[in-house]
Structure 1
């Protein structure tokens, strides 16, 4: 079991890394070369850099992910592609994507895009808070412990 992070713009990347390391897990951060960093990370953390471009990180994540992994992303489309691979997918707000909820989320995204395309306005996301970060951290712990129980 590994944690894969859709690293482009993820406000919980460091929280996810710190939490997963407490459980001696391997972490893979997939991100655009635009986000290249010289920051040093522990050996259990690896970075996979992809070219610029729409969905390049998503395609790489789908190629890398395996059953039992945990994926962290705010991208509904990526979540919908990962769920059939028997992975757990978490949003940065600590919500777990499921086969039951992903259809509604994709539909919501589609209708919001239609409104914007026709000149309308939709609400953007609320600012990310310390409470959001803590809710995410607690959910990640819950998922790691739940998935570890399945492996036993």
Structure 2
């Protein structure tokens, strides 16, 4: 006797992008189209995107976290998430996303997310206490290149595990 969930087809692979202030939108589209994978840009405001049937946009009205909530809602085991938001990355990992990647190409994993969340919390406390702490390093060509490789690798790994 088979359970109903055993016979259900796996969800289709897709890329979900936390698009507000994402510096790698064009790179996401390039990799998605090369692999023939649908991509959805989720944001709080309008932005221009590639005119292609595989490229979608969802504008989420509401509070600042509405886009994050929508990304988590859409996350499946066949989702590759692109975000710089550490707390969103943590939520997507808990939702069993196939992969969660930062715009610098750094993958967020179950093994690394705890340290990333703790570091974020410490830095927020230091800023709140008046300490002058530097922000992230400027986005570089090497970051862009690492991101392209990481996204490509995440899609290839998911397809192979398929």
Q: TM-score band, normalised by the shorter chain?
A: over 0.9
Question: Which residue, 133, 141, 144 being the options, matches 2:152?
Answer: 141
Equivalent-residue separation in structure 2 for 1:60 and 1:140 (angstroms): 21
Question: Which residue, 74, 89, 92 being the options, matches 1:82?
Answer: 92
- What are the ranges of 5 or more consecutive residues in structure 2 without an aligned counterpart? 1-12
Question: Which whole-Å deviations, capped at 9, do the CAs of 1:23-61 have from their partners, x for residues lacking one?
Answer: 00000110112xx13554211111000125321110011
2:50 matched to 1:43?
no
- What are the ranges of 5 or more consecutive residues in structure 1 without an aligned counterpart? none
Report the 3-state secondary structure (helix = DSSP H, G, I; strand = E; otherwise coil) of the residue aligned with 1:146. helix
Equivalent-residue separation in structure 2 for 1:38 and 1:2 (angstroms): 20
Equivalent-residue separation in structure 2 for 1:10 and 1:37 (angstroms): 11
Please say which of residues 36-45 and 62-71 is displaced more in the overlay: 36-45
Question: Which whole-Å deviations, capped at 9, do the CAs of 1:66-114 have from their partners, x for residues lacking one?
Answer: 1121000000000100102221100111111011110111111111111
Equivalent-residue separation in structure 1 for 2:49 and 2:128 (angstroms): 39
Larger Rg: 2
2:146 matched to 1:118?
no
TM-score of the superposed pair, with normalisation by structure 2: 0.88
Equivalent-residue separation in structure 2 for 1:39 and 1:139 (angstroms): 22
Within-5 A mapping of 1:1-12: 1-12=13-24
The alignment covers a number of residue pairs equal to 149
Call closer, same or farther: CA 1:38–1:8 in 2, change over 3 Å. Answer: closer
Q: 2:49·2:55 contact (CA, 8 Å) conserved in 1?
A: no
TM-score of the superposed pair, with normalisation by structure 1: 0.93
Superposed CA RMSD in Å reads: 1.2
2:42 matched to 1:30?
yes
